[in-house]
Amino acid sequence: MANITEEPGHGSSPAAWIAVVIMLFGIAVGTLFLFLDVLPMVYVGAVIVVVGLLVGWVLKKAGFGVNGSRLRSSH
């Protein structure tokens, strides 16, 4: 069995978690308003998803990604 400390990380970082939560919120908003037939808010949900992608990218560049400079190493 593989030693988990040798794994590349698989995106388990504050940047990834925050990005995914924001994108899930955007998908929920878009889905809700698609069901309620409020098309402008569906587009707002799509914009929120894009914002989540950008926030994740910015946080990764700021050192909060996998093996980022701002994270304490557990080794």
pLDDT tens by residue, the chain, 75 residues: 555 566 665 668 899 999 999 999 999 999 999 999 999 999 999 999 999 999 999 999 998 988 888 877 555
pLDDT at 44: 98
Q: Which domain holds residue 59?
A: 24-64
- Please count the structural domains in the chain: 1
Tell the residue number behind the tokens 């926030």, with chain if given.
55
Tell the residue number behind the tokens 């955007």, with chain if given.
26
pLDDT at 67: 81
> Is there a contact between 73 and 15 (Cβ–Cβ < 8 Å)?
no
pTM of the full structure: 0.80
pLDDT at 73: 57
Asked if the structure places residue 14 within a domain, the reply is: no
Asked if the structure places residue 49 within a domain, the reply is: yes
